[in-house]
Amino acid sequence: MTQISQAAARKNNSKLKEFFNRKKKSIGHSKAIIALARKIATIIWHLITNDEMYEDETGYKKRKIQKRKIVETEIFSVDERIKIISEIFAITEKQNEEST
């Protein structure tokens, strides 16, 4: 999750980057990355439980907020989505163990 939050912190015109920069000023870089990882995990949980898609408000042209859909999803039940995310974390942990 920290790698995801580091990538999100580098993304231009992103609400997540704005959140990271606010936190970084008050609590420092490392803790801000962890705070952003927690925020992303909370967003993911909210999207799964409410069966919604993530939309990031980006760019400001002539005072209009442009919404960009990040991910198109197939129709999965909440249990199937949780299983998929759990499998992704298991694969990531296995790769981390093999690299150390």
What number is the average pLDDT over the span 2-16?
82
pLDDT above 60 for 17 = yes
SS3 56: strand
Which amino acid does the sequence have at 20? Answer: F
Which pLDDT band, with edges at 50, 70 and 90, does 72 fall under? low
Asked whether the predicted pLDDT for residue 63 surpasses 60, the reply is: no
pLDDT at 57 over 80: no
Stated pTM of the model: 0.56
Distant-in-sequence, close-in-space partners of 41: CB < 8 Å, separation ≥ 6: 1
Choice between 22 and 53, residue whose per-residue pLDDT is larger: 22
